[in-house]
């Protein structure tokens, strides 16, 4: 299979969400989609990741993103996960791994020297025209939303051990631009 890469068309899909509704990528035309693959409902890393996306969901929506999670768990498991963590977005039940196959996220993993097949924790950012804009291979589960919203800041943060550069970027300009909008909205 061809590897899905940045700049290529995102494979379309038809997969049930937690309520058994068919969700397809083409249904999101005109929106940016954050398609995040995660290994398992209710596990610590996945919970941290989902909750971070939940806590920043309004910001993501404001920036035009639609958030959709994918794992191989079934609908019932997804319902429990959503209920338990009050998740505001849909989770796709890719039980037959069609979506995993299309995006190359069903991979060999190893744990304690044992190899097994599992979901690669990866996030695909798909633009309004269905093209893959970014692939986040190293998901920082507790700060995943900022990886999506601020990719440039992330890159420098990982490369530069001293935090000085990252801090300098934050003040004045972006805050000034965004603040008035927020107060008006409320």
Catalytic residue among 10, 46, 50, 102: 46
Q: Rounded to an integer, what distance in angstroms lies between the CA atom of residue 40 and that of residue 46?
A: 7
Pair of tokens at residue 181: 């909008």
Q: In angstroms, how far is CA 177 from the centroid of its own chain?
A: 26
Query: Do 102 and 13 contact (CB within 8 A), yes or no?
Result: yes
Place of tokens 């970027």: 169
Q: Rounded to an integer, what distance in angstroms lies between the CA atom of residue 49 and that of residue 40?
A: 11
Pair of tokens at residue 104: 């190359």
CA distances from 135 to 82, 106, 139, 181 (A): 24, 15, 10, 30
46 tagged catalytic? yes
Q: Rounded to an integer, what distance in angstroms lies between the CA atom of residue 90 and that of residue 53?
A: 12
Q: Rounded to an integer, what distance in angstroms lies between the CA atom of residue 98 and that of residue 88?
A: 24
Which positions are annotated as active-site residues?
Answer: 46
């Amino acid at each position: 299979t061809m590897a899905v890469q940045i700049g290529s068309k995102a494979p379309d899909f038809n997969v049930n969400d937690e309520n058994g509704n068919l969700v397809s990528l083409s249904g999101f035309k005109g929106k940016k989609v954050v398609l995040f693959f995660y290994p398992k409902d209710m596990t610590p890393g996945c919970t941290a990741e989902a909750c971070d996306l939940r806590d920043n969901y309004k910001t993501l929506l404001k920036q035009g993103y639609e958030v959709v999670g994918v794992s191989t768990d079934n609908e019932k498991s997804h319902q429990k996960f959503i209920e338990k963590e009050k998740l505001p977005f849909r989770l796709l039940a890719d039980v037959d791994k069609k979506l995993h196959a299309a995006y190359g996220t069903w991979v060999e993993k190893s744990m304690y020297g044992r190899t097994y097949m599992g979901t690669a924790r990866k996030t695909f950012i798909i633009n309004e025209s269905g093209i893959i804009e970014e692939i986040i291979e190293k998901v920082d589960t507790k700060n995943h939303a900022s990886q999506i919203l601020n990719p440039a800041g992330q890159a420098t943060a990982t490369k530069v051990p001293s935090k000085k550069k990252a801090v300098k970027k934050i003040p004045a300009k972006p805050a000034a631009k965004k603040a008035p909008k927020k107060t008006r909205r409320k």
